[in-house]
Amino acid sequence: MNNKPAKILESAKDAAATVESWADLSNTLFDPVDGLLARAFPTREEREAFLKTKEYAAIRGLLETAIDQTGLVEGATPKKSGRFVVRLPKSLHAALEREAAKEGVSLNQLVVAKLAVQLSQVAAGSHVK
């Protein structure tokens, strides 16, 4: 693993200095898709090896310090990223991709627009029952 653990610890320290809560730090470090550790150690074997290092122990210490600073309860709510994952049937995903391509927009833009229209209709009380 050479000096990768030391680099990851430095990145974790940088993150700890900038986040608003321990929940944000936890997400930054441990998110299974975008977290620092998942990106640095993509295989289970690499992650398991890293968990045995002094650098990992130091990272856990950063999280404990953040909990102490923000409070276990008060710091438990992460700042919202604006991102969420939706699992769709392949057929619905394909249909949305075709529609987005036809409209010349990204899939994300199409879905956000569709959600916005629905929410505005609900807010106006004109949604279909």
- Residue 63: the pLDDT is 93
- Residue 99: the pLDDT is 94
> What band does 115 get if pLDDT is binned at 50, 70 and 90?
confident
Distance between CA atoms of 116 and 29, rounded to whole angstroms?
32
Provide the token pair at 70.
């923000």
Cβ neighbours of residue 26 under 8 Å, at least 6 residues apart?
Answer: 63, 78
Count of CB atoms within 10 A of residue 28's CB? 20
- Residue 64: the pLDDT is 93
